Amino acid sequence: MKKSILAIAIAMALNVVTLAQTAPEKVSEWKIVTVVESIVPMGVGRSRMIENTTEVNTDQFRTNRTDGKKSDQRSVSRSELKIEKFDEAKLLNFFSAVGINFQNIASNDAMIGARIMELEGLGYKLIYVTSGVESHAGGDDPGGIFITRMFFKK
């Protein structure tokens, strides 16, 4: 009986040691998909779904302010910020020659929805969506864009 209790105690102790040595939790992987839909009429604008495919180290682009006023941001070249590799899918413009084109909107929805399902199939979960508009202001302003950013986590 004492041997059985001792064996159980040793097994429980080994189990606790094993659980304490589990691997650290994996860091989340994030993906941002940006959809830019043009509201320039007659197919003149460009609408796209964009995904970054390049890993970026942001340390090389950050600077520190020590007194709250002086910044070294001018030492960061805008051309160095631009990545070379990204995926883009062509989308249709919201407007045609006669106004809002609902078929184009439905087609874009189908493309965006298909990409969301593809990413979910790869283990990503849609976490957050944000959007903004730069719209037609009349007169000499012929159009604008509707932009949506979708944040996925895996």
Mean per-residue pLDDT for 77-89?
85
Question: Going by DSSP bridges, is the β-strand pair 125-134/47-52 parallel, antiparallel, or unpaired?
Answer: unpaired
pLDDT of residue 59: 77
What pLDDT does residue 18 have? Answer: 55
CB atoms within 10 A of CB 96: 15
Alpha-carbon torsion angle 82, 84, 87, 90, nearest 10: 80
The pLDDT score that the predictor gives to residue 27 is 87
pLDDT tens string 114-152: 999 999 999 999 999 999 988 766 677 667 888 999 999
Q: How confident is the model at residue 32, as a pLDDT?
A: 96
CB contact at 8 A, 87 and 51 = yes
Select the more confidently predicted residue: 105 or 77: 105
| Segment 24-74, tens digit of pLDDT | 677 899 999 999 998 877 767 789 999 999 888 877 777 777 777 776 666
Least trusted range by pLDDT, from 8-12, 87-91, 134-138: 8-12
What is the spatial distance between Cα 29 and Cα 15, in angstroms, rounded to a whole number? 31
Rounded Cα distance between 96 and 117, Å, is 28
